[in-house]
């Protein structure tokens, strides 16, 4: 991944992004060419040397059945959004400005492991569900579903795991602009209602050397 030095994500920020991966783009090179699926995943720090990303695919999705050549690529995306040059102080000064896109992203490479195992898949589903339901006043539990229905649903999915070997992470948050321009970006994003990206740009602006 092309990453100018000012956009390189530090270790703490990378861990935060991997700790809440959301829906990941899982890409593998196979005998059928490149195959990609969107997979909700969770980070499992206890697996291997660098942790793993774990999720599941529909059994009917033949992605999991293809022979994989080389490492899998899991693309983990954080907040992102369009930045208009109208927010830059430099626009009024000299006009030599253009639009851009700010974003957080990690390219995670590792060994793909398929878990066609009911017990493993059920543990994963319970872990994923508990994580995403944790902030609800009345969290839904896997045990709220009738047992027979749950067994049928679990039988219809297959577990997948990317055992992490290498991570490249990038935070493109207007670090290449002046402080005045970055302040304008933060203000513009907040006025647009893009609070998460505004917070990320503001945090990068206030971090020494970023």
pLDDT 10s digits, 4-53: 999 999 999 999 999 999 999 999 999 999 999 999 999 999 999 999 99
Residue 3: which of 167, 201, 163 has the closest Cα?
167
pLDDT of residue 37: 98
Residue 104 CA to residue 77 CA, distance in Å, equals 6
Distances (CA, A) of 15 to 9, 87, 95, 101, 208: 10, 30, 38, 23, 19
> In this predicted structure, what is the pLDDT of residue 208?
64
Residues of the chain with pLDDT under 70: 208-210
- Provide the whole-model pTM: 0.92
pLDDT score, position 209: 58
The full set of domains in the chain, from first to last, is 5-80+101-176 (2.30.110.10)
- How far is it, in rounded angstroms, from Cα 156 to Cα 58? 6
């Amino acid at each position: 991944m092309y990453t100018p030095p000012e956009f390189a994500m530090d270790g703490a920020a990378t861990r935060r992004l991997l700790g809440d991966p959301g829906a990941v783009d899982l890409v593998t090179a196979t005998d059928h060419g490149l195959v990609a699926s969107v997979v909700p995943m969770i980070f499992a720090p206890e697996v291997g040397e660098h942790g793993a990303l774990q999720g599941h695919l529909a059994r009917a999705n033949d992605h999991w059945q293809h022979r994989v050549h080389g490492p899998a690529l899991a693309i983990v995306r954080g907040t992102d959004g369009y930045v208009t040059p109208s927010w830059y102080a430099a626009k009024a000064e000299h006009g030599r400005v253009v639009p851009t896109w700010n974003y957080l992203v990690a390219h995670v490479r590792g060994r793909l492991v398929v878990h066609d195992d009911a017990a493993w898949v059920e543990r994963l589903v319970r872990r994923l569900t508990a994580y995403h339901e944790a902030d609800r006043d009345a969290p839904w539990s896997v045990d709220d579903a009738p047992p027979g229905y749950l067994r049928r649903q679990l039988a219809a999915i297959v577990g997948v795991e990317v055992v992490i070997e290498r991570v490249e992470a990038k935070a493109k948050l207007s670090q290449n602009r002046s402080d005045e321009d970055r302040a304008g970006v933060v203000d513009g994003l907040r006025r647009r209602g893009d609070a998460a990206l505004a917070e990320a740009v503001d945090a990068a602006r206030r971090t020494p050397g970023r």
